[in-house]
Amino acid sequence: MLFILASLIALIFVAWLVVRGFANAFYFFARWLSGGEKLDAETTLSVSGKLHSTKKEREQYLDVLHIGWYQVVILFVGGSMAGLLLEEIWMLVTAGLTESRVGLVWGPFSPLYGTGTVLLTVICYWLRRRHVSNLVVFLVSACIGGILEQVTGWGMLTFFHTQSWSYAHLPDHITEFVAWRFLFFWGLLGLAWCRFVMPRALYHIGEPTSRRQAIFITLISVYVVADVCMTVACFTRATARDAGVSPHNAFEEWVDTHYSNEFISARFQNMSVHVEGTK
């Protein structure tokens, strides 16, 4: 008993050190990105004022903020990683499963959550500026989540014959990819995001003030686009291989060599592949 307790304390301490180390590394990296050559004096002054502003001034800043590519990229990447982490923790706690639940071939990303983060931010930011009620935010967020799950699930099954989740076994399912309980969770998530997380997230993301930040986000954007395109190419070839279609060019041969069915099975462990002509 004492050994188990000591091991648990040691594990918590190690986890705390790891989290603190990552936090410090992120802090110093963010400080470095904000340094260097500034983009322009106007942007620098606006951010300087934002950092030293009162709550009222912060709200005024958010009221005139226009969400652009800089904020969208950060929200997508952050949402993809945070959503993946929360999903894996949820599966570990509720089902005792430890498996890779990523959605792209490179990096720890789940684009479903990244897209959901961006959509919730854009729409909830629009709702916030119109001072709608919590009920409206809840219902709109639930609809966003349901539509996103339905379109993503249907698209994966229709175009790539793959499936990452199914709610058909749940008594409250609406379609194979949408269930009432998860619409409720999407609504709560959107409400919490709109009222508490989103204003602070957008406030701290702010605007790019240095060329380092602009270059870094541009590189991240290129990486994410390449990641998505390669993932589509991999699943397109996987579907073609299952149908007995040979590669037509050197790129498809390269994909078949480096991103085989074995790679896909190991990488996307929660995904099932439906081969045409089978059940």
pLDDT at 152 over 60: yes
Q: Is 144 helix (H, G, I), strand (E, B) or coil?
A: helix
**Quick one: which of 44, 76, 53, 112 has its CA closest to 201?**
76
Calculate what percentage of the chain has a pLDDT beyond 90.
44
**Tell me, what's the pLDDT at 12?**
67
Q: Which two tokens stand for residue 181?
A: 């309980």
pLDDT at 274 over 50: yes
| Range 231-255 average pLDDT | 92
pLDDT at 279 over 50: no
| Range 8-31 average pLDDT | 66
**Tell me, what's the pLDDT at 273?**
67
Dihedral in degrees, nearest 10, Cα atoms 28, 76, 227, 245 = 160
HSE-CB at 200 with a 13 A cutoff on CA atoms is 5
Q: Comparing 70-79, 116-125, 144-153, 154-163, which segment has the lowest mean pLDDT?
A: 154-163
Per residue in 45-88, pLDDT tens? 444 445 455 667 667 777 888 889 999 999 999 999 988 888 88
| Range 113-123 average pLDDT | 93
User: How high does pLDDT run on average in the chain?
Assistant: 83
Question: Which is more confidently placed, 178 or 39?
Answer: 178
Per residue in 18-28, pLDDT tens? 656 666 676 67
Neighbour count for residue 260 (Cβ, 10 Å): 15
pLDDT at 222 over 90: yes
| Range 187-204 average pLDDT | 88
| Range 139-148 average pLDDT | 95
Neighbour count for residue 162 (Cβ, 10 Å): 19
Q: Comparing 38-42, 80-84, 131-135, which segment has the lowest mean pLDDT?
A: 38-42
HSE-CB at 110 with a 13 A cutoff on CA atoms is 22
Pairing of strands 162-163, 272-273: antiparallel
pLDDT at 123 over 70: yes
pTM of the shown model: 0.81
Question: Which is more confidently placed, 272 or 78?
Answer: 78
Give the C-alpha distances (Å, rounded to integers) separating 212 from 14, 35, 146, 242: 33, 7, 38, 45
| Range 111-131 average pLDDT | 91
